[in-house]
Chain A
Amino acid sequence: MAYSNKVIDHYNNPRNMGSFPKDEKKVGTGVVGAPECGDVMKLQIKVEGGRIVDAKFKTFGCGSAIASSSLATEWMKGKTLDEAEKIKNTEIVQELSLPPVKIHCSVLAEDAIKAAIADYRKKGE
């Protein structure tokens, strides 16, 4: 499989790789996927004043899955929750030039964004 340069760049230089303490009140955590399916993504956001001030990821999966989650953290930072929720998997596909067999990686990233936001909102309730 030939990767796009952007996928290779995210793989070699992952942005925002790491973890926040998930019990912290201003942190939202989303974990999606399953080990037997070959990909698991963990996306975390740190929210202050309704805005995502920081984001981190950890991913078990192929290069495209790693790149999709790395890109997601970049895009989420600085956005409000409502704005971040609007990030679409198709935008990730386009940005990373993902081939059709890798579209599920972008879907997983979108799911992870939504799961992290939902987790944060649930904590606030």
Chain B
Amino acid sequence: MKVPVYMDNHATTPVDPRVLDAMLPFFTEKFGNAASRNHSFGWEAEKAVDDARRQIAALIHADPKEIIFTSGATESDNLALKGLVEMYREKGDHIITSVTEHRAVLDTAKRLEKQGVKVTYLPVDKDGIVNPDDINKAITEKTILISVMMANNEIGTVNPIAEIGRLAKSRGVIFHCDATQGVGKIPVDVEAMGIDLMSFSGHKIYGPKGIGALYVRRKNPRVRLAPMIDGGGHERGMRSGTLPVPLIVGFGKACEICMQVMPEESKRMIDLRERLKEGILQKLDEVYLNGHPTKRLPNNLNLSFAYVEGESVLMGLKEIAVSSGSACTSATLEPSYVIRALGVGSDLAHSSIRFGLGRFNTEEEVDYVIKRVVETIQKLREMSPLYEMAKEGIDLKTVQWARD
């Protein structure tokens, strides 16, 4: 086993060697511009892009023409929200989203608010799930968009997307889904799920960084978007710019592999995740699961270790790459807004650790992580005044803390 062990696959994934092999020729001998219509270099590139578009569309049950290439899911989210609001502004000025969305959706929504758009941020339940009834109640005649993520990037909770899609359809509202963490990990069917716009990206599914897609429905209804980037009119005029053919080829190959291995891979991920969870829970008390116990991504485990602070845990796990919802690990110095939205105290948000399993993790690595996590938490609890107080029977919630 090699250290450091990478277990942060929600942040990014390594490129699958099969993906890299597919990409390499398109950097050198097959370097054509897919928009060059009058020579073989262009035709070759165009064919490669068409093939990739088919591979990507197949994974989500879409038509290849409905795939718009972008630089990644952040751009896709921006294009979906801003492009739709610009196009449908006369129809309405209200959008509905949830508090646990990725910042690419939340910050875009905040910018739109500055431009006069009204935004409803729906709460989630204790497991992180958006309630479709809340969406139904929030819809007004001015509502033009519902944007709810498929699976959360921190806690892995999977939302009832098909139900939300049916609701959106019945109320005549366009439905955008940020499926960055879901695509390639769980079955996605834009038809069955009633999704009209969907963001996803290459580097979360063992493809390259710098490439993503926005699925844009062409019929029932035909969704129109104002472009954010003007130019040569690529991608049905919605996203101009020369297509990065090698990245697109890699993205396509990554989708093809995900489609082939998903049944087996998701089972393996669940087995590894349960092994990790059980291994830790057997050795440590007062460890809490964040997110839904079963309605969650196969590869996600998010735990709060009471009485210890997340950044100090990461420091102890220096040969393991995981991430924390602690304030100290964020640029904003605020603990994770996702975990706080679950209604647990901020103290448990500071204590949260996210394990993101991936295709290349092994049982041996999981066992090593269990061992190191247990050692680190025990050491830090030994050092923690909160653990000591709790063991003395003091209820920490009744303590008068000396705040700054």
Contact = CB atoms under 8 A, between A and B. Distances in A.
Q: Which of B311, B382, B387, B388 has the most CB of A within 10 A?
A: B311
Nearest to A42: B385
Nearest to B397: A35
Looking at chain A's contact residues, the main secondary structure is mixed
A104 B333 CA distance: 11
A122 to B, nearest CB: 14
A37 B346 CA distance: 7
B384 A58 contact: yes
Interface residues of A, number: 33
Given A19-B388, A35-B396, A38-B327, A61 B312 contact: yes
Contact of A3 (B315, B329, B384, B387): B315
Nearest to B401: A34
A104 B308 CA distance: 18
A58 B311 contact: no
A38 B401 contact: no
A66 B401 contact: no
Contacts, number: 86
A37 B309 contact: no
Interface residues of B, number: 29
Contact of B383 (A1, A3, A66, A108): A66
Contact of B384 (A60, A63, A115): A60
A35 B401 contact: yes
Contacts of B382: 17
Contacts of B326: 38, 62
Contacts of B402: 31-34, 111, 115
B347 interface: yes
Contact of A58 (B312, B327, B388, B403): B388
B116 interface: no
B350 interface: yes
A58 B385 contact: yes
B346 A40 contact: no
B289 to A, nearest CB: 20
Nearest to B347: A35
Contacts of A32: 402
Contacts of B333: 101
Interface string A57-85: 01111110110000000000000000000
A101 B333 CA distance: 8
Contact of A62 (B312, B386, B396): B312
B352 to A, nearest CB: 11
B328 A60 contact: no
A33 B347 CA distance: 12
Given A11-B312, A33-B403, A38-B347, 15 more contacts: A3-B315, A17-B382, A31-B385, A35-B345, A35-B346, A36-B350, A37-B404, A38-B309, A38-B346, A40-B401, A58-B384, A58-B385, A60-B386, A60-B387, A115-B402
Interface of A: 1, 3, 8, 11, 14, 17, 19, 31-42, 58-63, 65-66, 101, 104, 107-108, 111, 115
13 contacts: A1-B329, A11-B316, A14-B383, A17-B382, A34-B402, A35-B401, A40-B386, A41-B385, A58-B383, A65-B312, A101-B333, A108-B404, A111-B404
